[in-house]
Structure 1
Amino acid sequence: MLPALQQTKQRVQSIDILRGIVMLIMALDHTRDFFHATAMTEDPLNFDTTTPILFFTRWITHFCAPAFVFLSGTSAFLAGKRKSRKELSIFLMKRGLWLLIVEIVIMSLIFSFNPLYNIIFLQVIWVIGWSMILMGLLVRTSIKLIVIIGAVLFFGHNILDYVQLPQQGPGHVIWSILFTAFGTVFKYGETRFILDLYAILPWTGVMFLGYGFGKLYQEPDDVKRRKTILTIGFAVIIFFIVLRYVNLYGDPSHWSIQKNGLYTFLSFLNTSKYPPSLCYLCMTLGPVIVLLALTETVQNKFSGIAAMYGRVPFFYYVLHFFLIHVICVILFFVSGHTSKDIVDMNSPFLFRPQHFGFSLGIVYVLWITVIFVLYKPCKWFDTYRKTHSQWWLSYL
C-alpha cells in the first residue's frame, strides 16, 4: 500500500475508534434514563442527592455529544476531499434535511413509543442536521470563514449569560432554539409539546471547528501531525482548567466549595451541557482531541471493535434507542406493571412510569447487554456498507 493511502486509512481509523468509544459510552446514559430508579425523580448531578459513582456515570457521557458533533465536522472535511465544493454543499444540505426529518419523525417515535406524537424531541440529531445545512451554505466560501464563524460561536456564545433575553413571545422562541434551549418546552397544541434540549448555534460552532480541524489531516508527516493534535488537545484542557478556576466567564453555573474535597472537585467538573457552555465544550473536547492523536497507530482487538461501531454511528444510534425502549417495555410488564400504567403524565416515555427502575448496578448490566446485542447487527451493516455502493448508504 502506498504511504499516502495508508496514512489516510490510519486517520480514518483513529476517528472511527474514538467515535465508536463515545457511541458505546453514550448508550450508558440512555440506559440510565430508561432504567435507573431515580432517573425521573432526581438529577444525577445534584450534590444533595447524588453519589460519586452516579455523578461519574452521568458525567462521563458528557463527552459523547461534543465528540460526535466535532467529528461530524471533521468527517465532512475529509468527505469534501472526494467532492467538489458544489457537490459537498448539496450533500451536506440534503443530509442535514434528512437528519431533521429523522429526529422529528423517527427518533421522537422511538423515544416515546407514542404514535400520536404528543411530544416531539429535539436533540443531538436536530443540531447536527441544522449545522450541516449551515455548513453546506458556507463550504462554497472558504475554510477560513467557517473556522472564524465557528470560533465566534464557540468562544462567544456565553456572552448571552449576561444579556437579558425575552422570556416569552416569538423572541423567546427564536433565542431558545438558536442559543439557550435547556429542556425548553414549546406548546403547539392542547396536548402537544416540543421538548428542545439542544440549542443549535453553540453546537454549530463545534461542528465548524471540527471541519477546520480536518485540515490537519492533510499533513503528510505522521509524527508532526500527531504532535500538533496533541498540542491542541492539551492546550484546550489547560484553557478549560484556567477558565473554570477563574470562575468568571464560560459557564453560568460557577463551581464552589462543597462538603469535602471530592465534592468540590465534582463541582469543578459540573459544567453546563444545556446549552453547552464554553467550559463544558473545552472540558470534553480537549481529551477527545488528545485521544485522536493517541489512537492513530493503535491496532488491537478492542480498537477494531470500537472502530466497527464508529463506522456505523447513525445505524447504531437509531437502533440502540429502539432496543433500549423495547427492553424497557419487557421489564415494564415483568416488574408487574399493567396497561393502566403505560401512560404516566410525569414521564415523556410510554411504558416508563416516573417511579420505575432498578439499581445502578442493574443499569450497568443492561448497558453491557445492549452493546452486546447490537454487535452482530452493526457488524453486518458495516460489512454491507463496505460491499455495496448504493447512493442512500451515504445518508446512514
Structure 2
Amino acid sequence: MQAGVRCPGSPEAAISRDPAPRLKAIDALRGLVIVLMALDHARDFFHAGAMTFSPTDLARTTPLLFATRWVTHLCAPLFSLLAGVGAWLRLQRPGETRASLSRYLVSRGLWLIVLELVVMRVAMNFSLSMAYPPLLLVLWVLGLSMLILAALVWLPLSVVLAGSLVVIVGHNLLDPIRAADLGQFAGVWRVLHEPGVLPVGGIVAVVGYPLVPWCAVMAAGYGLGPLFGALADVRQRRLVTMGIACCVAFLGLRLMNGYGDPAPWSVQPSAVLTVLSFLNTTKYPPSLAFLLMTLGPGLLLLAWMDRRAWPAGQPLVVFGRVPLFFFVSHFFVLHGLAAVAALATYGRAAAAFLWMPLPSMGGPAAAFPPGFGYPLWGVYAAWLAVLVLLWPACRRLAARRLARTWTSESGRVATRALGGGSRAGR
C-alpha cells in the first residue's frame, strides 16, 4: 500500500469519514473527565498517603496532593450530567422513541450495576472473594440513576428539569436524618442519601455513592438536552451564563458558611490552607456547594470546548467515545502496574499481599509493609503509563464505532432517498 493511502477498513479511514452529527465537544469533555478520573485512581493504587489518610485532610495533606485530588472532583458530576445529555441526544436519533430510550436506559443501567458488582470487584481486588465487602461506587450509582431516568423520560422535560434542580438545591435539608436512627429502614437511607455499611442477606456492602443527588444531576442533564440542539452561538452563551451563575452561587453560598455543605470551612494557620478549607466541600454525598463548585467550571469548560474544532482522532475525543471501556480497563491496568511495582520493590515478600485489595481499597493494612506505596511522582508516572497503554485499544474501538455510525448514517440517507424513510412507510 502506498504511503498516505488509507485502507478502507482501517481505524484511520473510519476516523477520517466521521459523520460528525454529534457534538465532539461533549466527547472531548467526557474524555477529559475520564483522563482525570484515571489520575485519581492512580493515586488510590500508588500513593503511600492514600493507604492511610484522605488527600483532603488538611492536617496531613500538601497543596499539590490536595490539588491532585481536587481537580478530579470534576469527574463524577460532569460524567453524570453528560450521561443525561447523552440520553436526550439519543432520543433525537431517527426512529428513536421514548419507549426505546427507556428500554435502553433500563438495560444499560442494569449492565452497569452488574459490572460494579462483578467485574469491578475483580479489577480492584483481583478476587471475587466475599471476604472483602462489595463497594457500591460510580457504576452502581450511574446504573441506578439510569433506571430512574428510564421512568422520568415519560415526563415533560420542564418537569424533569425543575424536579432535578429542586433535589440538587434542597437535598442538604436531609442531612440531619441519620441512618442509625431509622431502625429497619437504615439500609434504605444508606442507598438513598448516607454513605456507609449496607448488610444484605449476610453480605456486607459499602455504599460509597448514595443515589441522591446523583440521579438528579443526570436528570438535569437530560432536562438541559434541548440546549444542545440549539445554534452553536446560542448554546455557548447559555453554557457560559449557567457556568458563571453556578460559580457565583458557590462563592456566595460558601462565604455564608451555612446551608449547602455539612462541613463548614474555617480559617487555617496559613492563607493557602484557608483557601483549601474553603474548597474542601463534601462529596459523599455531593453537597450543593460541591456540585456548584464542579458543574460551574465544567459548563464553562464545555462552552470553551464547543468553540473549537475537535478532529475525530484527537486523544480526548477518542477516549471520550469509549468511556466505559476505558473506565473498566484502566482499573485492571492500574492494579497490574501496582503489582509489578510491588514485586520490583519488595521482591518475593510481595507474594504475601499481592492478591489482596490495597488498604486504599479496603484491604487489611496490617498485611502490607509499613509505609507501603510510592511518592506523588510515582502516581503521575502510573497515570501516564495507563494512558499510553490504553491508547491503542481505545483508538481502535472508537474507530470501529465511528465506522458503524458511518454505515448506519449512510443507510438512513439511502433509505430516505428511496422514499422509505418516512414514518408512514414503516
Q: Does 1:324 align with 2:334?
A: yes
- Contact persistence 1:28–1:367 (CA under 8 A): yes
Q: Per the alignment, in what secondary structure is the counterpart of residue 388 of structure 1?
A: helix
Q: Does 1:84 align with 2:97?
A: yes
| C-alpha distance in structure 2 between counterparts of 1:86 and 1:302, whole Å | 31
- 1:1-396 pair list within 5 angstroms: 9=20, 12-82=23-93, 83-117=96-130, 118-163=132-177, 165-167=179-181, 169-181=183-195, 184-188=196-200, 192-219=203-230, 221-299=231-309, 304-336=314-346, 337-342=349-354, 343=356, 348-349=362-363, 353=368, 355-388=371-404
| C-alpha distance in structure 2 between counterparts of 1:36 and 1:284, whole Å | 24
Q: 1:231 to 1:345 in 2, by over 3 A?
A: closer
Q: Which residue of 2 aligns with 1:393?
A: none
Aligned residues: 378
Letter in 2 for 1:320: H
| C-alpha distance in structure 1 between counterparts of 2:345 and 2:154, whole Å | 56
Q: Per the alignment, in what secondary structure is the counterpart of residue 40 of structure 2?
A: helix
Cα distance, 1:349 vs structure 2: 4.7
Q: 1:217 to 1:275 in 2, by over 3 A?
A: same
| C-alpha distance in structure 2 between counterparts of 1:98 and 1:260, whole Å | 47
Q: Per the alignment, in what secondary structure is the counterpart of residue 51 of structure 2?
A: coil
Cα distance, 1:165 vs structure 2: 4.9
Instruction: Give the TM-score taking structure 2 as reference length.
Output: 0.84
| C-alpha distance in structure 2 between counterparts of 1:340 and 1:315, whole Å | 31
| C-alpha distance in structure 2 between counterparts of 1:101 and 1:113, whole Å | 17
| C-alpha distance in structure 1 between counterparts of 2:150 and 2:178, whole Å | 32
Cα distance, 1:329 vs structure 2: 1.4
- Contact persistence 1:100–1:125 (CA under 8 A): yes
Letter in 1 for 2:351: S
Letter in 1 for 2:254: R
Letter in 1 for 2:50: A
- The superposition leaves residues 95-124 of structure 1 with CA deviations (integer Å, 9 ceiling, x where unpaired) of 111111111111122111122243211111
Letter in 2 for 1:185: V
Q: Per the alignment, in what secondary structure is the counterpart of residue 201 of structure 1?
A: coil
Q: Which residue of 1 aligns with 2:8?
A: none
- Contact persistence 2:194–2:285 (CA under 8 A): yes
- The superposition leaves residues 327-351 of structure 1 with CA deviations (integer Å, 9 ceiling, x where unpaired) of 1111122211332233479563599
| C-alpha distance in structure 2 between counterparts of 1:330 and 1:378, whole Å | 23
| C-alpha distance in structure 2 between counterparts of 1:179 and 1:93, whole Å | 22
- Contact persistence 2:179–2:190 (CA under 8 A): no
Cα distance, 1:206 vs structure 2: 0.4
Seq. identity, %? 37
The RMSD of aligned alpha carbons is 2.2
- Contact persistence 2:51–2:373 (CA under 8 A): no
Larger radius of gyration: 2
- Contact persistence 1:95–1:129 (CA under 8 A): yes
- Contact persistence 1:112–1:350 (CA under 8 A): no
- The superposition leaves residues 112-157 of structure 1 with CA deviations (integer Å, 9 ceiling, x where unpaired) of 1122243211111111101111110121221122112211211111
- The superposition leaves residues 226-249 of structure 1 with CA deviations (integer Å, 9 ceiling, x where unpaired) of 111110111111111101111110
Cα distance, 1:170 vs structure 2: 2.5
Q: Per the alignment, in what secondary structure is the counterpart of residue 180 of structure 1?
A: coil
Bigger Cα displacement from structure 2, 297-306 vs 12-21:
297-306
Cα distance, 1:189 vs structure 2: 7.1
- Contact persistence 1:11–1:296 (CA under 8 A): no
- Contact persistence 2:121–2:128 (CA under 8 A): no
| C-alpha distance in structure 2 between counterparts of 1:133 and 1:115, whole Å | 26
Q: Which residue of 1 aligns with 2:414?
A: none
- Contact persistence 2:27–2:317 (CA under 8 A): yes
| C-alpha distance in structure 2 between counterparts of 1:245 and 1:232, whole Å | 20
Bigger Cα displacement from structure 2, 253-262 vs 118-127:
118-127
Instruction: Give the TM-score taking structure 1 as reference length.
Output: 0.90
- The superposition leaves residues 280-308 of structure 1 with CA deviations (integer Å, 9 ceiling, x where unpaired) of 01100001111111111323679921111
Q: Per the alignment, in what secondary structure is the counterpart of residue 197 of structure 2?
A: strand
